Each structure stands twice: as structure tokens, then as C-alpha cells.
Amino acid sequence: MTQDAAATPLLSCRHVGKSFGALAAVRDLSFDVGAGEILGIGGPNGAGKTTLFEVISGLNPATKGAIVLDGQDITKHAPEQICHAGVARTFQLNAGFDSMTARENVLVGAYFGRNNRAVPTLRAGRAAHEAADAALEMLGIADRADKVTGKLPVLDRKLLMMASAMATKPKLLLMDEPVGGLTAREVDRVMDAVRAIKAAGVTIILIEHVMRFLVRLSDRIMIMHHGEKIFEGLPTKLLDDRTVVDVYLGQGASERLRSFMENTHG
């Protein structure tokens, strides 16, 4: 922890590849994420962004390359081991435990996510309950803690997913399209939430199609296309890149994004 964050990246992917038979969803991808950083990933549909998350979180292990988290090789680890190593993830779709209350959802993360519970105790201890409440509080949904998850509105469910992920006390949080399908006001809410998570010292990798969201939050941006990296750099450099504009953003969207960035940064 005392080491220089830039010198030792928290997550380091080296020549990572994921093939489904003849189809290579992720190809020879190498990148680093420094501790405390937000890396934004964009790219057209089918670029392999979500597959990359599947690979890092261990649900669908890499077929090539190595993934190192905090000096520990996690390439071939099981999803729960990777969770215990400090990686949490939120999904594109609402993936909660629908018939449990919000608090119970978070409690699963708080209880099972931090330690390897080979033989669970009967009751989740005070520590787990406090951690769950803290996570709910942090995401601002503590007042809805006793509502059944399946009945919560979309925004609350997205925030709940983040709270459950935070309850596992991650070093690295993978967020897959956190603002998909939300209104402008709700997007602001999620943006605040992401900033709060970053302020808590968690490193974040963000996949998002909503470019305004991505450029405002990310310290660095990576654009993927056909499973490969076509751009990696500062958000301000994104629009200067010919390939990104041609392949992903298009001329019109680039112009709108440029004026948006000038307005917010100027």
C-alpha cells in the first residue's frame, strides 16, 4: 500500500485473450489500471467489453494471457476466489436477489464476500450487518433497506447492486453500463455514487455507451473494437483520434461530445 501507485498497477492484464471456438471475443489485450484510478471502457456493441469483465471476474476464464491483481495472478482463479482477492462487479442488467430485501442482498456480499466462509456461521455477525448498513448508507438507499428488491425502481436497483459490490470491500470494482436506460437526472445520481466509491479508495473500471458519463468520470479511457484496443489515453485526447471517431463515435456524435466537453471543462 505504501508503494507508489503508478509504479505498481493494481490490475495488470498481459496479452489477455478469450476465444469461443474460432471466435476471438478478446484478442491480445494488455493494459494496466493504477490504484485509485477510474478507467473508462467504450466501444461498439460486440467489441468484447463485457467479455473482458467476464474474464477478469472469473466467470469465463481467459484462454490466453495473464491477469495480475495486486501482485497476485488471478487468471485461473474461481469467481469466488477472485471476489475474495478484491474484485467486485456490477452487471448491465439488474442482477439482484429479487425476493430478498435490499438489506439481505447487501448482507450476502458483506458476509460471504470478505472472507472465505467454508462453514458459514448460523447468523451473519455484527460486523457483516454494520458493513451492509454502511454500504447502503454510502449509496444513499438506507431508507429503502427493508423493501423487497424485485419491487424497487430501476435506479434503486442499480444503486443496490453497487452497494452489494461495495459490501464485499473490493479493491477493484468493475461496472458494466451503470447508467444504461436511466434518465438524465438519474445519471447524475449514479455519477455522484461513482465519485463516492472512488473517494472511498476503490479503483474502478467502467463500461459505458453514454459518452458524457464516461468522459466526465474517467481518468483514462480505453476504446475497444473487435476484441482489440484501438485507443488508450486521456479523455481529452479521445476526439483527436481518427480511428475512434471513424469506428465508434461518428462525426456528428464527436462534434456534440466536443462541445459538451468544452462546456464542462471550460
Partner 1 sequence: MDVLIQIVASGLTLGAMYAVATIGLSLVYGSLNMLNMAHGAILTLGGYICYAAIVHAGLHPALALLAAAFVCALVGLMIYFSAALPLLRAENFETNIFIATIGIGSVIENLMLKGFGPYPIPQPLAVDGQVVIGNVHIPLQNVFILGVAIVLMVGVAILLQRTSAGRAIRATSMNREAAQLMGVRVGRIYAQVLALSGALAAVSGIMISSIATLTPVMGGDPMLKAFIVCVVAGLGNVYGAVVAAIALGLLEAATQYVLGVRWSFATLLLLVILVLIWRPYGLFGKQQVVRL
Q: How far apart are CA 179 and CA 186, in angstroms?
A: 8
Vertex 184 angle, CA 170 and 137, to 5°: 35
Tell which phi-psi region holds residue 152, choosing left (phi > 0), alpha (psi between -120 and 50) or beta. beta
Which of 5, 59 has the CB closer to partner 1?
59
The answer to whether 113 contacts partner 1 (rule: CB under 8 A) is: yes
CB 18 within 8 A of CB 186: no
Q: How far apart are CA 169 and CA 167, in angstroms?
A: 5
- Please give the C-alpha separations between residue 26 and each of 22, 89, 154, 241, in angstroms, as whole numbers: 12, 19, 30, 22
User: 25 to 64, contacts with partner 1 by CB under 8 A?
Assistant: 57, 59
Of 31, 111, 213, 248, which lies in the binding site for partner 1, with binding defined by CB under 8 A? 111
Cβ 231 to partner 1, closest distance in Å?
28
Neighbours of 188 (CB within 10 A): 13
Sole window of 33-41, 87-95, 189-197, 231-239 interacting with partner 1 (rule: CB under 8 A): 87-95
The answer to whether the Cα torsion of 208, 210, 211, 214 is positive or negative is: negative
CB 172 within 8 A of CB 203: yes
Which of 107, 182 has the CB closer to partner 1?
107
CB 175 within 8 A of CB 204: yes
**147 to 186: interface string for partner 1, x by CB under 8 A:** ---x-------------xx-xx------------------
Cβ 251 to partner 1, closest distance in Å?
39
User: 224 to 253, contacts with partner 1 by CB under 8 A?
Assistant: none
Sole window of 22-30, 117-125, 180-188, 195-203 interacting with partner 1 (rule: CB under 8 A): 117-125
Count of positions on this chain that bind partner 1 (CB under 8 A): 38
The answer to whether 120 contacts partner 1 (rule: CB under 8 A) is: yes
CB 139 within 8 A of CB 163: yes
Q: How far apart are CA 57 and CA 82, in angstroms?
A: 6
The answer to whether 123 contacts partner 1 (rule: CB under 8 A) is: yes
Sole window of 37-45, 90-98, 131-139, 193-201 interacting with partner 1 (rule: CB under 8 A): 90-98
Cβ 103 to partner 1, closest distance in Å?
11
Nearest in space to 170 (alpha carbons), one of 202, 194, 144, 200: 202
The answer to whether 114 contacts partner 1 (rule: CB under 8 A) is: yes
Of 73, 80, 192, 255, which lies in the binding site for partner 1, with binding defined by CB under 8 A? 80
Q: How far apart are CA 13 and CA 69, in angstroms?
A: 9
Which of 90, 218 has the CB closer to partner 1?
90
The answer to whether 203 contacts partner 1 (rule: CB under 8 A) is: no
Contact positions toward partner 1, by CB under 8 A?
A: 57, 59, 78-80, 83-84, 88-89, 91, 95-100, 104, 107-109, 111-118, 120-124, 150, 164-165, 167-168
